[in-house]
Structure 1
Amino acid sequence: MDTVKVRLQVNPERFNGLFRCIKETWVKEGIKGYYKGATPPLVGWTMMDAVMLGSLTQYRRLLRKTTPNGVLHLREHALAGLGAGFTVSLVAAPVELLKARLQVQYSAAQRLYTGPLDCIRKTVGQHGVTGLWHALPATLIQRSFFSVYWGTYYLTTVALRKLSNNKLSDSSLSFWGGGVASQAYWICSFPLDVVKQRIMTDVNYNFKSWFQAFRDVYRKLGLRGYYNGFVPCLLRAFPTNASAVLVFDTTMRVFGKIAARKAEEQQ
């Protein structure tokens, strides 16, 4: 679904809608076509999630020191999300650049790169090491919307607790909160994601700034251009984010209990 999303974002003129993109990819490239560019995220997204969730936890700890009784509310959760978004952008920019460039190689005749290592080698050879971070400004802006993500997560879990009279389990709250938060995040950040993907797949680096790419989308496609690939993005976002947040929160609770037990034993 991510491959379909990126292809629709970058080349909407080539594919007349979601199902046309799915069908044409299958007919011309087979099942492998959907997994082009899979290696960078297979490794990179592990690091990205670790950096994002790890930094989120640290920012939350810092903000607890500034609030009465150490209780975080909407503002603190949004600020922690903003900080985590900025932090993870440093890792996300090169990983997503490699992924996007491999995803839009539609045929052997159009293939510029034989794989992720070849993509790194050619990108660095043409533009230096900093070329891998070519889309960093757009990535920073797009991932600043993690403030919306974690703010929405907080509001959703609070609302669900009230609606259920505290009868929902912590796992259920994490799952539904993560899923709903992902929808809010993508609704707000998707136009910037379109711009980011276009910058990342601009192998000649014609765009000198994210705003130039932003204007180019509007000039060529109008407002609708900012939401090409939106449907597969939402379809993918809910289950993946709901599951990810569920695992993260459950892991943190387990380790929290282990740490508390060890502290009691030491006393």
Structure 2
Amino acid sequence: MGHDGGVSGAKDLAFGSIAGSCAKVFEHPFDLCKVRLQSQPPDKALRYTGPWDCFKQTWTKEGVRGLYRGLSAPIVGAAAENACLFLVYNQCQRLITFAKGSDPSTPPQDKGLDELALAAAGAGAVASFILTPIELVKVKMQVTLLRAENLALLVNGSNPTSKPPRPDFSSLPGPIAILRQTIAKNGLRGLWLGHYGTLLRETGGSSAWFTTFEVVSRLFMRRREKAQGLERGSIGRSDLKAWELCVAGGCSGMAYNIVLFPADTIKSAIQTNAELRPDLAASHRASFLGTAKEIFAARGIKGLYAGCGITVARAAPSSAIIFLLYENLVRNFA
């Protein structure tokens, strides 16, 4: 991926893991709000009117610890996802180059965008199989407190004028407990609940992510060459400045999320049915298309894009961090 020469598979794994983990710490509160907005059952009144309302309610009721609820699973997920993405993306590029009989030493900026888009889609498809179980645990942790609140309201009734007590986080299940519960109830197959949504999002999103980064990076390279009167190809990615890498990474993050955001919304709704709609989850297994139709019928296109604004807003700096860290690790340690 983003380098002029080759990087070993082991270093791809290491660099991708470090970059993804660091970015996840920054973005997790935004992701939590996104998941809670996406998971609002279409057959019930809206709990949150928008991202800011979700953030305020979470902060008021749960504090800073609530905003980082479920962080452990995403940290593992981000490390695994980015390690897998960068590794498989580079290997897919090599495979395509081999199939075409091209020079294997050709740097990414000299390859066709169609090749890079195809390699990125392959990387996203592979990553989705690793990511689905990790995201399943994450989103369940992010909405378990909402389920506890719902049960309390049913049992005790509600007093809108009273300030809600701080939650007892020690009583909520952790990632290992949720993992065990899921396997005990649905077997290993249950860990891939909502996988179709993850597959769609990762395949199309990863293609947009890497390709957009490449396009913007090339614009900066050509701009520098023109300004300095250099021949085409004289400036490589290793010559780009930190702010240029951040801009390219920020654009790629926004492209990733805009492309197939409804698939992520549907996935989150399916994965949290057991917590937020236990009556429905007990009667039948939610399908991807069925859930999409239900959300659209209840809330229209706006429902399918619930949380999109806050996701795109956090994706820009998050992806900027990932690409900046990855490229600098490549420059200094590859």
Alignment TM-score, normalising by the size of structure 2: 0.71
Q: Is the 8 A contact 1:171 1:246 kept in 2?
A: no
SS in 1 for 2:47: coil
**Which residue matches 1:187?**
258
1:166–1:238 distance in 2 versus 1, CA, 3 Å:
farther
Report matched runs for 1:102-181 at 5 Å. 102-106=141-145, 108-109=148-149, 114-145=173-204, 146-165=206-225, 169-172=239-242, 173-181=244-252
Q: Is the 8 A contact 2:136 2:271 kept in 1?
A: yes
Runs of 4+ in 1 over 6 A off after TM superposition: none
1:185–1:166 distance in 2 versus 1, CA, 3 Å:
farther
- Give the distance between the partners of 1:178 and 1:75, measured in 2 at CA: 19
- Give the distance between the partners of 1:67 and 1:227, measured in 2 at CA: 43
Segment drifting more, 142-151 vs 196-205: 196-205
Q: Is the 8 A contact 2:145 2:172 kept in 1?
A: no
1:110–1:119 distance in 2 versus 1, CA, 3 Å:
farther
Q: Is the 8 A contact 2:221 2:240 kept in 1?
A: no
Structure of greater Rg = 2
Segment drifting more, 184-193 vs 104-113: 104-113
Unaligned runs of 5+ in 2: 1-29, 152-170, 228-234, 275-280
- Cα RMSD of the aligned pairs, angstroms, is 2.1
Q: Is the 8 A contact 2:35 2:139 kept in 1?
A: yes
**Which residue matches 1:241?**
319
Q: CA deviation at 1:207?
A: 4.4
Report matched runs for 1:185-224 at 5 Å. 185-203=256-274, 204=281, 206-224=284-302
**Which residue matches 2:232?**
none
SS in 2 for 1:114: coil
Matched, 1:24 2:85: no
Report matched runs for 1:66-81 at 5 Å. 66=100, 68-69=102-103, 70=106, 71-81=110-120
Segment drifting more, 79-88 vs 49-58: 49-58
Report matched runs for 1:77-88 at 5 Å. 77-88=116-127
- Give the distance between the partners of 2:322 and 2:94, measured in 1 at CA: 21
Segment drifting more, 11-20 vs 102-111: 102-111
Deviations 1:165-221 (A, max 9, x none): 367942434322111011111111211111111111122374442112211210111
- Give the distance between the partners of 1:147 and 1:163, measured in 2 at CA: 24
Of the candidates 57, 69, 72, which is equivalent to residue 36 of structure 1? Answer: 69
Alignment TM-score, normalising by the size of structure 1: 0.88
Percent of counterpart pairs with the same letter? 30
Of the candidates 114, 137, 147, which is equivalent to residue 98 of structure 1? Answer: 137
